[in-house]
Amino acid sequence: MADQLFIGIDNGTQGTKCVVFSRAQNRILATAYAAHDLIENEAGRREQEPQWWLAAATAALQECLATPGVDARQVAGVGVSGQQHGCVPLDEHGRVLRAAKLWCDTETVPQCEQITAAAGGPKKVMAAIGNAVAAGFTASKVLWLKQNEPALFDRLAHVLLPHDYLNFWLTGEYHTECGDASGTAYFDVRKRKWSRKLVQAIDDSGHLAACLPKVVASDAPNGYLLPAIAAQFGLPAGIPVSSGGGDNMMAAIGTGNVAPGVITTSLGTSGTIYSYADQPVIDPRGELAAFCSSSGGWLPLICTMNVTVATELTRELFGQDLVAFGADVARAPVGAGGVRLLPYFNGERTPPLPRARATLAGLSSTNFTRSNICRAAMEGASLGLRYGLDILQRQGVTPTEIRLVGGGSKSRVWRQIVADVFNCPVVCPVSAEAGAMGAVIQAIWCVERAGGAATALPELTAQYVQLDPASRAEPDAARARAYETIYGEYLALNNALAPLAR
């Protein structure tokens, strides 16, 4: 049997990655990346033009397919991973009406409060969808469009998420799937369908309800590759494009997080920590995102909005490259000499402080050093994720191993800090492209199912997800005890300043 190749496309905030995976060789043959611009302002606006995503995906895919040893004619399927929560408004012809508001956009905080009130308050919202209407979710972006650009809202015919839009580009179909849909705040995660109550809280005219895409199963195709797209890239026309999913859902697949007991943590622009569940996991306080997975189950998840944001801003402030920055972090003591950073540069989702701003505290004439500030940035981002782990543990999820992904996971010193802060072993997958690799594996699953095979997804992740033993970091007992104290100080600082951010 000829080799089957699969394409994984991962649309992130900073850029789009593409990989080509050989099933026979069980390895990635080609990887490429193209960056995105960002539209932002001091009011919390964070937007991108969806056309930038298509241009980046096109450039990355062309580069991959031009790699020696890659035969585009052998591609059997495509999978797409995308940044969650972004609002892509389209007219009746599939044309983009305006720039997409992103997951990190906090300009729509007032709309969160209005939707919650219209739905009867926080308890009724939780009862209806299993989630709070959090800043960053899609719902508030739709209401913002209705209130601030009513002429565009009147022309609205389709509301898609970023990965849905890339799937639409590839297949011409207006579809979504449960994992990404559950991050809209108008999707019932228990019943796995759109919530009439929340949709009406945004728009009771019926217009929005008519704009929502069809929900397809995780193992089903979103559609099939359009002839024009196939011709553009030299791919076989009509090959399946899997349902795809949000970047966290795809990274769960790409790290083998498709059965209870595995926890994945991402050190990306934002930070996430999540674990698979075979039933809905609802947090009565609303701090945990009760998402569906893109593998047929559920994916209780906590997201913090500032991880590599904190380290990159600090590194750029001091004009350092990654090596120099890492050396400074390693040079500073555990706890950064008492320097603490609440890294809320983009506001914060967990804890829910969308109006918060970053705070550097604990400074003295002796600890105000570059090394301490660099370490405080890395520790602050990690302590924020520790808060997320506490929420998961409150719901009965206990980690035995953390599978670490995202750009920050490439740093040995950061892996050790995470192991010590969480007091849990840390290991990385061999493939750093967890989102794209998850999209590949889901595409293989889709093709298998379409061919009549009863292949279970855990069988595929066991075969294709490999862990890197060289990346493993074990917690040190003394450092873990020290970080327990430091974490308490971090929480006290957060609690003291939180009233100023509300």
Q: What residues have CB less than 8 Å from 150, skipping those under 6 apart?
A: none
The tokens 């991108």 sit on which residue?
48
The DSSP bridge partners found for residue 177 are 216
**CA distance linking residue 296 with residue 293, whole number of Å:** 6
Strand partners, 269: none
- CA-based R_g, the chain, Å: 22
Which residues are known to be catalytic?
247
The residue ranges of DSSP E strands in 64-209, in sequence order, are: 75-82, 88-90, 100-101, 158-160, 175-177, 187-188, 193-194
Three-class SS of residue 47? strand
The structure tokens listed for 221 are 């195709």
| Closest alpha carbon to 174 in 56, 90, 231, 97 | 90
Report the alpha-carbon distance of residue 327 to residue 290 in Å, rounded: 38
Residues linked to residue 18 through DSSP beta bridges, in sequence order: 9, 32
327: buried, middle or exposed (CB in 10 Å: 19+, 13-18, 0-12)? middle
Half-sphere exposure of 258 (CA within 13 A, CB side): 24
DSSP structure string for 237-306: TT-EEE--EEHHHHHHHHTT--STT-EEEEESSSEEEEE-BSS----TTS-SEEEEPSSSSEEEEEEES-
150 exposure class (CB count in 10 Å sphere: 0-12, 13-18, 19+): exposed
Closest CA to 219 of 453, 459, 443: 443
